[in-house]
Structure 1
């Protein structure tokens, strides 16, 4: 049956955060309906796990970028703290 071959993790890796999140919402909605066969439910569960992991990757990456930007800004502010005298440039 095709449900065993449907999702492969490599296709999830190419999804943007928004696309993965939207698909995850659809997967959860279908699972919550409870009308899928056991085989389909398992395939949906596996797909959902892959999608959730992809969303987590995006969020962890975004946090790292924000932390790096904040650290860079804090370092720049500390280096130039005596130069500004409180005035805007």
Structure 2
């Protein structure tokens, strides 16, 4: 029997991983977990953060490839945050 909260497989989609991270934070902030459960959530969260970071890095590289100049040099510009 597998406990939903002690999953060993990571969500495949970035959005799923982010949603799971939010759930982990809520569970940990609630303070109802045992020490062993807290450690397990922390370890799972750490793996998810690494996974999300790697996916974001991959997307950034793909975007930079898409905006290369015709001569092959990157035309990377910083993304501007929407302040509205």
Q: TM-score, normalised by structure 1?
A: 0.68
Q: State the number of aligned residues.
A: 68
Task: Let me know the Cα RMSD of the aligned residues.
Answer: 1.7
Larger radius of gyration: 1
User: Which one of 25, 31, 36 corresponds to residue 34 of structure 1?
Assistant: 31
Structure 1 residue ranges (4+ consecutive) displaced by more than 3 angstroms after TM superposition? none
Structure with the largest fraction of helix? 1
| In structure 2, distance between residues paired with 1:69 and 1:41 | 42
In structure 1, stretches of 5+ residues that fail to align are 77-89
In structure 2, stretches of 5+ residues that fail to align are 72-84
